[in-house]
């Protein structure tokens, strides 16, 4: 068994488990509208303005810098990407505060990134 075969992401809503997704299977991936051509998305959570997604970046990915009204978190699951002069390797966690300009983003060989947006309180 490969290490990735057993890994699942469990998202809980208060007491009851709402959703369980294997982040490594091929189910649920869709074209990522609003992202560069070839980018794929798998939505893990989308409720009350909070969202957790997986982004599959194709080789040669590039996206200009931008901001969000929410705090943003990245976890690089596979591959790597470059942003703001730094390389973010597999296993890297990154926190980006709301309204902070971030990017541009590039990935020479592609990557899978978990992106989490949480509403501000």
- For the chain, the structural domain boundaries read 25-118
The share of the chain scoring above pLDDT 70, in percent, equals: 83
Q: DSSP for 1-12? A: --GGGS--EEEE
Rounded to a whole number of angstroms, the CA Rg of the chain reads 14
Separation CA 92–CA 76 (nearest Å): 5
Write down the CATH number for the domain with range 25-118.
2.60.120.10
User: pLDDT tens digits for 21-69?
Assistant: 788 888 899 999 999 999 999 999 998 888 999 999 999 999 999 998 8
């Amino acid at each position: 068994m490969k290490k990735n075969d057993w890994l699942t992401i469990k998202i809980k809503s208060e007491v009851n488990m709402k959703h369980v997704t294997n982040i490594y299977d091929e189910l649920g991936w869709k074209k990522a509208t609003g992202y560069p051509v070839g980018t794929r998305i798998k939505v893990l959570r989308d409720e009350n303005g909070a969202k957790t997604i997986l982004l599959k970046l194709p080789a040669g990915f590039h996206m200009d810098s931008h901001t969000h009204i929410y705090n943003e978190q990245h976890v690089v699951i596979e591959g790597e990407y470059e942003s703001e002069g730094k390389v973010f390797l597999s296993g890297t966690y990154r926190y980006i505060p709301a309204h902070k300009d971030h990017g541009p983003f590039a990935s020479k060989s592609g990557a899978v990134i978990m992106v989490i947006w949480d509403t501000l309180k």
